[in-house]
Structures are given as C-alpha cells and as structure tokens.
Structure 1
Amino acid sequence: MRVVSPKSTERMRAHGPDGVETLPRVGVDVPGAPAACRRTLVERARWQWRPADGGDPAAQAEQFLAAHGLPLHDLARPAPRHDPAGVCGAALYVSAAAGAALTGGPSGAPNPVATLPELAVVVYGHAPAAPPPATPPAARWWRGTFVESWSPRQHAEAVRAVRAAIGRGDVYQVNLVGHAAARYTGDPLPALSRLAALPGARYGGTLTGAGWAIGCASPETLVELTDGRLITRPIKGTRPATTAGRAELLASAKERAEHVMIVDLERNDLARVARTGSVRVDELFAVRRWCDLWQAESTVSAAVADGLGLADLLRAVCPGGSVTGAPKLAALEHVAALEPVGRGASMGALGWVAPGRLDLGLTIRTAAMDAERVHVWAGGGITWGSDPDAEVAEAAAKAAPVRAALGGR
C-alpha cells in the first residue's frame, strides 16, 4: 500500500463520497469482519466525515449505510440470512473527537493526522475469490525516532492537575493520553499488519484511505451486538505480565476502585439504549493478558431496546468511558484542556457493522499514518490515588509493544 498525498485526498473529496476509484486497493483486514468472507470482500462505497462537513455524523452514517443495503435503524431486528452475492457489511471508524462531538463534549486539540477523517464508513460486498494482483516490490521500510508530544515532566504535571481537579470535586477520574510521531519511508502496510497481529489483539486489523492508514491491536470491546444483546468490555488496571504483577493487580485497591468506577459508567451508558432492567455485569475484574501486560477487564451486557438505531447507539457509547473518565463530559473538558495533541485515530472505535451484528473495538494500542509520519498514542486513567511517575511509566509500557511492532531504523 502507498499512502497517497494530501492532494489526492482533495481530489477524492471533490469527486464526492463515493469516489472509491481514487482509493488505494488493498486487502480487507477490518477488525470484526467475518473470517469466512475476508478473501472475497470488495469495496462498494465509502463515506467520510470531517467537522467542516457539518451535520450529525452518526445520523449521516446510518443514512449512508441504509442507502447501500445495510439498514441499521432497528438493531433489535433479527439478522437476515447472509447473502453471499450481496452486501456483506461495512467497516466503521469513529475518532475520539467525533465521539466527543456526538456526546456534546469538546473535541480537544487538533488531529495530528490532517488527512485522517473523524468518521469513515466503508461498505463491502462479495466477489469471487481471486489471486491478489501482482505488485512491485515494496520500498524498504524505515522508521525514525519517535518524538513525544509532551515530556515525562509535562505528563506528570498533567496527572497532578487531574488530581487537583479530583480534590476540588470536579471529576472522579480522567484518562490522559500522550502522543508521539516518527518519520518513515517505505510501505507502511506490513508494519501496521505486524501491529495488528500482536498477542491479545481481539480487534487486530487495518483500515486505509486516501492519505491515511490505521493499524489496531486493541484488546477492548467498545460495543458488540450478538443475538439481540449489547456487550461492552471495559479495561482498566495494568501490571507487567509476571506472576508478581498479576498478584499485585488483583490486590490493588486503587486499581479495583478505578475499574469499578468505569464499569458503573458503562452500565449507565448501556442503560440509555437498553430494555429497562436488562443491564447486568456478567464478569467483574477478570485479569487477561495483552502482550507483556496483565489488564483487568469486565463484561457488561444489556438487551437492546426495540427501535434502537446505530446513530443513537454511537451517541450513547462514544467515546468509551474507559478512555474518558467520570463523569464523562466533565472528564472530556479536562482532556481538552490538558492534552497538547489530539487523539487522532486512538481512543475511538473501529470494527464491523451489519444488520443484526455489530462489533466495534475501542482503538487503544492503535497507530495511524499519513504520507510522512507514523503516529502512536498511550495513556491511562488518573484517580486521586495515582502516582504521577507511575502513570508516566504505565503509558510507556503500553506504548512499547506498539512501537516495537512498527519496527525501527
């Protein structure tokens, strides 16, 4: 894959939302796409949104999907029989900034990947399986040194600012995220595919467009719809993947309190779009592994309400509570004030949507590329009990496997 120039992106915009002939042709590796269909998926149409486009992006996405054979205005309806000759489903990407806009919060600092849309929908149909076309040898991959958007001292000062806000009673928890970027040359798709293949990447995959590419290795479910039930799996709490680290995570009162706070927030988010009385916590504080880290995960589920459409679901769950904090809107105000660089492709949603089936991962452990740079993000939840230096170290530990998968000089 060659990430095309911003001029190519402008040509695509001028052509209109269905100008797919201007897009790079790559294999389909969208998180959540049906495994049995991936070799036969072909792009049928795409639509992208940026704030300058105006309007309600969630409603527009739902309308675009319906116009291309994917009606998602009532997610409670049973899934239709899969048509191997028809439309299969669609990739859906929602940035953290778009999610904040949907919930009425501030969008934060500008997106550092200027070519990246804030919301993208790509509709796929089926075609007979065929050998991939011959491609010229890719240019040798080279990645430079990552340059941080803030220093460890600035990160620690932001943690202290959150603790002061908690002390004043403004918030209970705020998730702080740092950014770094590095120059690169060569074909970025193999590097993003390595990232997507990291151990524990439940939502490992890639999505590309004119002038941008995303690689995701997320283990976290933002929202899944299966058999009429909505599921979210918030992750909060991290330790090294050692025997001692697991024991320490299980014994940490601070980590458990932080985790339960987000579980309660997610319960409230699902209750807004669920049948009354159907929300339940199926699993609480289960410890699972991602790369060389233990992480605490819970499972919250609810019966989907009749007549619930995709747009209203996105407004309820975006951005994910585990990457904002609590209360969500108050936390977003502090995120916007403290983070010097926008969250870009991270802390949003990426996955697959189709009638009767939906599976969106929360884009932690995610990288994005423009024509010149690869961008990564990492952070963690800040509570009153947070130690600034420990939070800086935790963010670095989360970023390390992502950076390693993206190669080096």
Structure 2
Amino acid sequence: MLHAGAVVDHCPLPPIGRPPGAPAGCHARHHALSAFRWHQGDPGDPAELVADFLADNGLTVRSLGRTGDKYQTIGDGEICGASLYVSADAGAVMAGGVIGSRSPVPGIPDVYAVVYRHARDVTPTGDMSGDPWNPDQSSPGPWSLGPWRESWTPERHAAAVDEVRAAIARGDVYQVNVVGHASAPYTGDPGPALRRVAALAGARYGGILAGDGWAIATASPETLVEVRDGRIVTRPIKGTRPATAAGRRELLASAKERAEHVMIVDLERNDLARLPGTGPVRVDELFAVREWAGLWQAESVVSASLDPGVGLAGLLRAVCPGGSVTGAPKLAALAAIAALEPVGRGVSMGALGWIGHDHLDLGLTIRTVALDGARAHVWAGGGITIDSEPAAEVEEAAAKTGPVRAALRGQ
C-alpha cells in the first residue's frame, strides 16, 4: 500500500556492508526488496508513514511490546527484517520541535527504511559495481580524501558554548548539545573507507546504509532505543575523556560530567514514561565507564516494561531526537540548537538500526559519516552546562571526530 507522502522504491541498491544493528546471523545474506523514502517537506506524518510501510511488509511494528512466541527461523527467501534511519530533522518533526539549519546532505532522505530478505546468493559486501558512484560499471579508482573544511572556527564554537551558558543562566534551558560539522572532497571507491569507519573499536552499531548517490557509515556506540521481550531500553552516553588511567580517574571524579550525565538520564526516563501504559522506568546502571576508539565514555542504562499496544510511530515520537544529543528541556534545546548551529545536523544525531520480527534496536548516529557522491561529512559536539569551559568543549568535539577522520584516511 502506498501512502500519501511516501516514496517506495522496489529496486533498492544491494548492501555494500553490514546494515547497522543487523543480527550477526544475517551477515552477507541480505537481499534488499523495497525501500521507503521521506524528505522534510513531503506530506504526511513520517512516523506513521514508515510504520505503515514496515507493517505492510510483515514486520510487527504495531505491537512492539508484546511478548510470546515471536522468534522464528528465517529461511532463504523470507523477510528477515529492515534497516531504519531517521535524521535529526525528522526527529524534530516527530517531537514537534524547531528544525535547525539546512542539511549539508539534502540528497539523503530524512527517513529511510529498507526491507531485506534472506538469500543464498547476494552481491558480496564491498562489490561496488553497479552502484551510483560507478555508473559506467568500471572501477571507480583508488580512494583519495581531500582537506577538511570546518563549518565553524574554534572561536565560533567556543562562542556558541558561551551563548548556551548565558541561556542557562537566564533559565531558558538546563543543557544544550552543540554540534559542529566538517566536510572534505573525495574521489575513488568509498567502500573500504566506509567499512573502516564501521569497524572502529566499540562500535555497537557499526555498519553501512546506502541509497541512490549517498551512503552512511556509523561507528556509533550509543543505544537510542532497544525493544526486546517486552522491555524498552535506552543507553545514554555523556562524558568523555582519553582512554588512559588518568582519563578514567578524571572522568569518574568530574562533578560537571556527572551532573550533565544525570540530567540526561532524567530526560531519558521522562521520554520512556511518556509512552502510554509503560513503566515503571528504572535506572539499571548509572555512569558506567566504557571505551570507544581510544576514549572513555560514561554510559547509563535506563529501562521499562513496554505496553503491548505501543507501536513504532508512538515510540519514535517519544524518543526522537535523542535527549543526549539535544538537551533539556528537549523542545527548548532544539530551539537553541536551531539558532546556534550554522550547518544542519544532516544524518548525524539521528537514529539508525534494525527492526526484526522479534526486536527493535536503533543507535544514535554519533561517530557517523555521510557521503553524498562528492564530499564526506562528519559531525561532533558535546553537551553544554553552566560549568562548561569553551576551550575544553572544542577539544572534546575534536577528540570525538578524530577516529572517524583517521579511519576515512586509512590511518
């Protein structure tokens, strides 16, 4: 069934790498059947439209919280699940918030879903023949990445931090996540570079999603939302230090980082509590220190029982965009972000993951790169509180984007 505002492609591109969040048992067996696309400005409710598309393809997205015998063996030719991507702008639309500056990758849809079936004979991941970067079916040549162009200077980034601190002092917000962007020209076959990004250490959602003339590779360690066996889980990350013994001690001892982290945990608890019939919400783990690509990061685990009647559309409206990449209160933070950031968040700070017959698992698109056919794009930032030091925030953003840039260059 085709719904108003939806575009469904029945000949989507074959995967060029493992889809983010896909079960290990499906690796190298994905055959794309159809894809859904929605761009900002298209008619219709994107949360409802993508839920309709997935339901029409046999996925149980109308009753995510139900338990029982949902597990099944997926054989050849059967639908095994779907990739789902939601941009930061689409998340703002779903939340009823202000949309920020124009995306630097407008050709990438704001909502994209691909339904896959299992197949014995699929295009090997890494075979770029026939894809949009290689229209003449010849080798695209060796990969080369040009110089990075930043969306703002360190001075402008630091000034944005000061503006957030002033807004907090006025009582407008409690915390705002401020994000910068950079892009670089490239030539040649992007496949190996994208797979290096997806393989970064600690990438819980490492994988690649590609469409007509674009690709997203993520090394995200952060869970936006996971649903299994009638429970909903989110794992917010806030607080970063170098992965050294001294860095760990500093992170654990930082009152500023802990206060910032707890504030976002409270926001995530409220997001889950908004779902009808869901609860009680509990904090299973608070401020646990984990490693990602040479950095310590503080992560908590928040969960609740999920009412059987909760569907995908309602879930997306409750959790998108993620609290750890927006701030608190969420709608006020979105307004501040729109006023401060000169370049849109594009594919970053959104959601990307997997919907199967027995679970849903979406990661936040942090530590993520987008390719649009001519340039590579990366984003990074951090949460700003009244105690934030502008120079330290600039350094933290550079530390977060550093591994992704190095992976793209093959360093």
Q: Give the TM-score band, short-chain normalised.
A: over 0.9
Q: Given the superposition, is the C-alpha separation of residues 265 and 17 from structure 1 closer, same or farther in structure 2, using an over 3 Å criterion?
A: same
User: What is the CA deviation profile of residues 162-219 of structure 1, one whole-angstrom value per residue up to 9, with x for unaligned ones?
Assistant: 0000000000000000000000001112111100100000010000000210000000
Contact 1:172 1:383 in 2 (8 A): yes
2:283 aligned to which of 281, 284, 300:
281
Pick the aligned partner of 2:388 from 386, 389, 395. 386
Counterparts of 1:362 and 1:46, CA distance in 2: 21
Deviation at 1:39, TM superposition (A): 2.0
Relative distance call for 1:342 and 1:29 in structure 2 (3 A) is same
Q: Which shows bigger deviation, 84-93 or 170-179?
A: 84-93
Distance 2:96 2:322 in 1: 14
* Partner SS for 2:263: helix
Aligned to 1:58: 47
Correspondence for 1:91:
83
Provide the secondary structure at the position in 1 that maps to 2:316: helix
Asked if residue 36 in structure 1 is aligned to residue 25 in structure 2, the reply is yes
Distance 1:321 1:26 in 2: 30
Greater shift, 179-188 or 36-45, is seen at: 36-45
Matched, 1:71 2:60: yes
Partner deviation per Cα, 1:290-323 (whole Å, 9 max, x = no partner)? 0111000000001111200000000000000000
Contact 2:348 2:368 in 1 (8 A): yes
Which of 237, 241, 254 is the equivalent residue of 1:239? 241
Alignment-derived partner of residue 110 in structure 1: 102
Q: Measure how far apart 1:19 and its partner are.
A: 3.0
Change (3 A) 1:356 1:152: same
CA contact (8 A) 2:218 2:367 kept: yes
Instruction: Name the CA distance, whole Å, in 2 between partners of 1:227 and 1:271.
Output: 18
Cα displacement string for residues 26-50 of structure 1 (whole angstroms, at most 9, x for unaligned residues): 3451111121122221011101100
**Residue in 2 that maps onto 1:82:** 73
Are 1:174 and 1:335, in contact at CA under 8 Å, matched by a contact in 2? yes
Q: Give the aligned partner of residue 227 of structure 1.
A: 229
What is the aligned partner in structure 1 of residue 208 from structure 2?
206
Match of 1:178 in 2: 180
Query: Does the 8 Å CA contact 1:143/1:408 hold for their aligned counterparts?
Result: no
Q: Which residue of 2 aligns with 1:290?
A: 292
Give TM-score, length-normalised by structure 1: 0.93
Q: Structure 2: how far apart are the matches of 1:34 and 1:201?
A: 14
**1:71 offset after TM fit, Å?**
3.0
Q: Which one is further off, 43-52 or 171-180?
A: 43-52
- Provide the rounded CA distance (Å) in 2 between the counterparts of 1:276 and 1:203: 26
Change (3 A) 1:131 1:353: closer
Q: What is the SS of the residue equivalent to 2:7?
A: coil
Q: Are the counterparts in 2 of residues 275 and 302 from structure 1 also a CA contact under 8 Å?
A: no
Q: Secondary structure at the match of 1:344?
A: coil
Contact 1:236–1:322 (Cα < 8 Å) also in 2: yes
Structure 1 residue aligned with 2:133: none
CA 1:278–1:129 in structure 2 vs 1: closer, same or farther (change >3 Å)? farther
Q: What is the alpha-carbon distance in structure 2 between the residues aligned to residue 150 and residue 264 of structure 1?
A: 31
Secondary structure of 1:352 counterpart: strand
Which residue identity does 1:29 align to in structure 2?
A: R
Q: What is the identity percentage for the equivalent residue pairs of Structure 1 and Structure 2?
A: 62
How much does 1:408 deviate?
7.0
Give 1:274 shift.
6.0
- The normalised TM-score by structure 2 is 0.92
Aligned mates of 2:55, 2:123 — CA distance in 1: 31
What is the CA-CA distance between 1:276 and the residue it aligns to? Answer: 4.8
Deviates most, 33-42 or 150-159? 33-42
Q: Tell me the equivalent position of 1:403.
A: 405
Conserved in 2, the CA contact under 8 Å of 1:144 and 1:408? no
Partners of 2:278 and 2:315 lie apart in 1 by 15
Q: Unaligned stretches of 5+ in structure 2?
A: 1-5, 130-137
Query: 1:8 maps to what in 2?
Result: none
